[in-house]
Amino acid sequence: MKKFLSLFTFALFAFSAVTSAQNLRFGVTGAMNVANYSMSADGISFDADSRIGFKAGFQMEIDAPFIYDGFYFDTGALISAKGAKMSTTVGDVNVEWTSRPYYLEVPMHIGYSYSLNSSGSVQFFGSFGPYIAVGLWGTDKVTMADESTKPDTFASDGIKRFDFGLGLKGGLRLFDHYRIFVGYDWGLINVAQDDDSKMNNRNFYVGASYLF
């Protein structure tokens, strides 16, 4: 993992240096997350309820006309609140669990935009690519027999801090500065600490951006 992060950091700096002469735009972005887990243990899938969260931070777009006119790179640094809610019964005791992790998330998408009018003030765009995320903090809530505890989300019996996956985003560019979008992220890393279990992040989001 350390080697992967080092290579990613080097690639990001190299990418920034190569594209420094290209048209670069930056701004702020925010979205509502509808997060969940895809979970299974011993080959049996489990259902969980979605948790409403958010993602917010800085966004950067870099035009890539050397690929083809209309292509661009989309990246940034976001705080993203994910997780899920689940209820189960252990013996005669009802157990309710809410996972509440907060990640630093870096998407690395390649996108394409297409003008919907002659002035170019309204454009449709779509982007796709990987993301990496590192857990910053989190406090779960576990209620059992009317007693609640709040364990650390990333404790040894919680979930792993590192996540990696693929994301898809689409929406409209309005009057050059504004973006409205929907998107979905598929976590590819098993974040469960138990090797016999499988837990992958899933996240649908709706948001907006303003680029200077």
pLDDT per residue as tens digits for the range 7-33:
455 455 545 544 454 689 999 999 999
Q: Tokens 């083809």, residue?
A: 68
* Residue-range domain boundaries for the chain: 45-211
CA dist., res. 33 & res. 75, Å (int): 18
What is the per-residue pLDDT for 94?
84
Taking 50 as the pLDDT cut, the residues of the chain under it are 3-4, 7, 10, 14, 17-19, 21
Residues 65 and 88 sit within 8 Å (Cβ to Cβ) = no
| Nearest residue to 62 via CA among 162, 129, 117, 116 | 129
| Nearest residue to 169 via CA among 79, 83, 109 | 109
Q: Structure pTM?
A: 0.87
Q: Tokens 């887990």, residue?
A: 37
